[in-house]
A and B are shown apart, each in its own frame.
Chain A
Amino acid sequence: MKPLTIALAGNPNSGKTTLFNLLTGSNQYVGNWPGVTVEKKEGRLKKHKDVTLTDLPGIYSLSPYSPEEVVARTYLMEEKPQAIINIVDGTNLERNLYLTTQLLDLGLPVVVAVNMMDAVAKSGDKVDIGELSQRLQCPVAEISALKNTGIDRLVSLAVSAAQQAAAAVPVKLGQEVESVLTQVEEEALPQLPKEERRWYALKLLEKDSQATEKLALTQAQAEAAAAIAADFEAEQDDEAESVITTARYEAVTALLKGSHVKKDRHALTTSDKIDRVVTNRWLALPIFAVVMVLVYYISVSTVGAWVTDFTNDGLFGDGFFLMGNGRAAYEEKLEEYSTAQIYTEAFEQAAQDAGVNLEAGPLSQQARTLTAAAQFMGEDSPEPERTEQVTLAMYQQALTVAEPETGDFGTWVPGVPVVVGGWLESLQVAPWMQSLVVDGIIAGVGAVLGFVPQMFVLFLFLALLEACGYMARIAFILDRVFRRFGLSGKSFIPMLIGSGCSVPGIMASRTIENDRDRRMTITTTSFIPCGAKLPVIAMIGGALFGGPWWFTPMTYFIGVFAVILSGVLLKKTSRFRGDASPFVMELPAYRVPGAGIVLRSMWERGWSFIKKAGSVILLSSIFIWFISRFGVADGALRMLEDAQMDQSIAAKIGGLFAWLFIPLGFGDWQSSVATVMGLVAKENVVSTFGILFGFGEVSERGVEIWAALAQHYTAVSAMSLLLFNLLCAPCFAAIGAIRREMNSAPWTAFAVGYQTAFAYGVSLVFYQLALLLTGGAFTLWTAVALMALAGFGYLLLRPEPKGVPVGSAA
């Protein structure tokens, strides 16, 4: 038997994806259709491994107005699959059969699968499948993809239709349209195979040049077709396309008369009743806020954070206690040990200062009466949290406290870096190789993989919201607000997730169908401060502004403001211009989501992220490891000690760019190196400062270097540095996500370039104007900043240019 290809076509929300998964199981290949960011899925039929099933995008018709429709019809006309499975929603036959009538015109074998028959039965409607099949003159199967019924019969109908290769019989569109079609077929298309003529005759009448340009008609034929169409339109006093659309709906109504019994539907359905509450003008936003707070709280603050902490500190950190047994006891001992350490150090320091010998012979009287002040540092301030007086007795007691061994408290499982590091050491692998694997690859990939559990929780919620039908309502509720600055109602979700980590945030933009809205969302999502930017914010806020409570919230406002400004500004540029995409979307009925569908959707998104971590992030980790660990020291390129970071290649690159930041107030090489290192991961900015200011390792918020920072920067220049780091290109992982979601190198370059240029502009204007206002002199750069500000203002306020609608600009 020769290999067969069957295409799966249907309306959005008709259960197509569910059916596709049922039919192919895990035998799937996911890619993109050429030239567009429309997902293409292919798979092999279960039990019929020689049959390939191609999942077409969800479409309402085969007109040429959306990328999805163009993809679907080009595929059907040019690749000519051996059969089409047309899935239709049984609860909404009238609208779904519209597409069916178009598919039947293509001259390919068609099998209709009426889905959601369980819901049809429940609602009290009746569909006479036998009658419908007879009227459509094609096989019709009744199925429920959700309940997995009727699938085997559908498969056998589809496979035998593909083998018999009998072209479907078109639905007649009424006397007038039929006679004009025959006329076009005879006069313009006699050269085509018989079963293809009807489709092209329709396209000629509809003046659908995209479909007919490949026909290579003779001039006489083209003119004949145009003349027939013109006569027809004059006769009907309407566009041919509208006449044909109406005729199709009439044909569908006729088909259903007698084969479809609907219960009286004037009463609102349950779904409508839910909508009256959930999308109510007063309740919509509060309900939405509650749902979002719940989703965010559970996935970011509780479940997500537990699992992520475990992954970062346990799996990719030092290690963890199996099932948590013994952890509390261990931590208690560890606390005791660190207190003892502080006592000992303080006492020994005091003894040294007083010239008292603690080692030799009997202790002197002075040693007995000596007390030392032990300072306990807090997390948020360079001042000690508390001070205790240490006496000799306390010191001697402290000396006896031993460092606790993890193995004594429970089953200790060492983390990946510890295991791999130990293993490499035991093999006596070269130190640079050990460093590459442990500090470069495991640390780099691990840092990103640490977000995986949190992302899975988030993706689970997203899948739930999508499957139950609420996601579409979110878009509806927020559309009015977001539309004003060029975003879509669905842009909210990426931004919300982006406040945890930009990578899943950017990936969540995939739920936005419209290309332009999606690209705009991808470009602006990383303006929202992510979790990794918080330490940087805390460091600058603490060191230069005394850590006021409003500092961190302010950065969120800056982020939101940057999104709004960018939206308004970009909307008016030629890249994003065009008629605002009409907001018309189908809202699926609320339903209880199937567990399989939700889990599968969560898994697909999560897995695609893990795969990326394995490729892009792996490569960039190696690259960053190299440029930050290697440098020219002592006249040769070699690996550096931690303290020599100022000689690394990264530092040299930072130094090279330092002059660029002079107008922004932080033209020293340390700032630019820290900024460059921030591209790896934003929290690196803090640790880089630690190393560059000679403090070695610093705590998360860099409390140790606050004093040094306060000396190094002015409030204005530090704020400018923070602004730039908040808004400029995100970390490599996020850039990788942008690349994937844009599915285009030029668009990725545009997004990253725009972010950086925007950040530069904002910092420049802020720094120069703040200098001027705080009594600085008016310099050339002040003038440049004022011009930049005027430029911003112009771009923001200029009227929206009319002209070439770009629509789905490539």
Chain B
Amino acid sequence: MPLHMMTPGSRNLIRKITGKLETKQFLEKLGFVPGEFVTVVSENCGNLIVNIKDSRVAISRDMALRIVV
């Protein structure tokens, strides 16, 4: 399921990153790689704040769509 459907507070294992190569690499260098756990901290109009590799990252809905958990 795409990450944007996860409820705040949930901790999810990333299975796949989809989308264009450039987007994928952008997400990967921020730590969004398959096999990593991502926690949704907060949600605001579809934009998410998530916890990945001990740092908080804000991502838009379009980006969250590409992270499959």
Contact = CB atoms under 8 A, between A and B. Distances in A.
Is B truly associated with A?
yes
Given A245-B29, A480-B46, A480-B47, A94 B57 contact: no
Contacts of B62: 580, 582-583
A807 to B, nearest CB: 9
A249 B29 CA distance: 9
Contact of A281 (B30, B36, B45): B45
A479 B27 CA distance: 19
Contacts of B59: 582-584
Interface in B34-63: 34, 36, 41-47, 49, 51-60, 62-63
Given A95-B53, A477-B44, A584 B58 contact: yes
A276 B44 CA distance: 10
A123 to B, nearest CB: 10
Given A275-B49, A280-B44, A479-B47, A584 B54 contact: no
B45 to A, nearest CB: 5
B58 A472 contact: yes
Given A246-B33, A284-B44, A65 B22 contact: yes
A139 B41 CA distance: 36
Given A281-B44, A480-B44, A275 B25 contact: no
Contacts of B47: 476, 479-480, 583
B54 A480 contact: no
Contacts of A65: 22, 25-26
A810 to B, nearest CB: 18
A271 B56 contact: yes
B21 A276 contact: no
Contacts of A91: 54
A584 B26 CA distance: 9
Interface bracket on A: 35 or more
A587 interface: yes
B25 A95 contact: no
A668 interface: no
Nearest to A589: B56
A187 interface: no
A115 to B, nearest CB: 14
A262 B54 CA distance: 10
Contacts of B25: 63, 65, 241-242, 245
B30 A586 contact: yes
A587 B30 contact: no
A509 to B, nearest CB: 20
A61 interface: yes
- Please indicate which of the listed interface residues B28, B34, B36, B58 has the most CB atoms of chain A within 10 Å of its own CB: B58
A268 interface: yes
A89 B53 CA distance: 12
B41 A276 contact: yes
B23 interface: yes
A92 interface: yes
A280 B45 contact: no
Contacts of B8: 276
A272 interface: yes
Nearest to A807: B22
B11 interface: yes
A700 interface: no
The 3 residue pairs across chains A and B that have the minimum distance between CB atoms: A583-B60, A61-B29, A587-B56
Interface of B: 8, 11, 21-31, 33-34, 36, 41-47, 49, 51-60, 62-63
Interface of A: 60-61, 63, 65, 89, 91-95, 98, 239, 241-242, 245-246, 249, 262, 265-266, 268, 271-272, 275-276, 279-281, 284, 472-473, 475-477, 479-480, 483, 580, 582-589
Given A65-B25, A584-B59, A587-B55, 9 more contacts: A241-B21, A275-B41, A275-B42, A476-B47, A479-B47, A479-B60, A480-B44, A582-B62, A583-B63
13 contacts: A65-B22, A242-B25, A246-B34, A249-B31, A272-B41, A276-B42, A480-B44, A480-B45, A483-B60, A585-B57, A587-B49, A587-B58, A589-B56
